[in-house]
Amino acid sequence: MNLDLLNTQCKKATKSAYDDFKHFIDNPLFELNENIYDIHLNDMKMKAGTKVYKWYLDNHSYSEAQFRIVNQLKNKYIYIAERYAYSYSKKQMK
């Protein structure tokens, strides 16, 4: 498995999901509060994870050890995006 390509795919998927999160926060349908934030944050995590898993399963044969690596990298990038999303949403909710 090419780890550089995996890193690139994780970054792309997470960046895309984070951009969608920012769009929802910048253009809310309802007043922003913690519940709306949680919904969009969970949506961001699901979108990023789904894109990474879909890419992995479409392009690689399944190996449990490789899947653990994919999962660890996905979680790392989602954790980073989650921190940025938290600080971004706090600025917008003020």
Domain count, the chain: 1
Domain that holds residue 71: 3-93
* Per-residue model confidence as pLDDT tens digits over 40-61: 999 999 999 999 999 988 887 7
What's the burial of 77, exposed, middle or buried (CB within 10 Å: 0-12/13-18/19+)? buried
Query: What pTM value is reported for the model?
Result: 0.87
Phi-psi region of 63 (alpha: psi -120 to 50; beta: other; left: phi over 0): beta
Give the pLDDT of residue 92.
81
In the 8-state DSSP scheme, what is residue 28?
-
Residue ranges of the chain with per-residue pLDDT less than 50: none
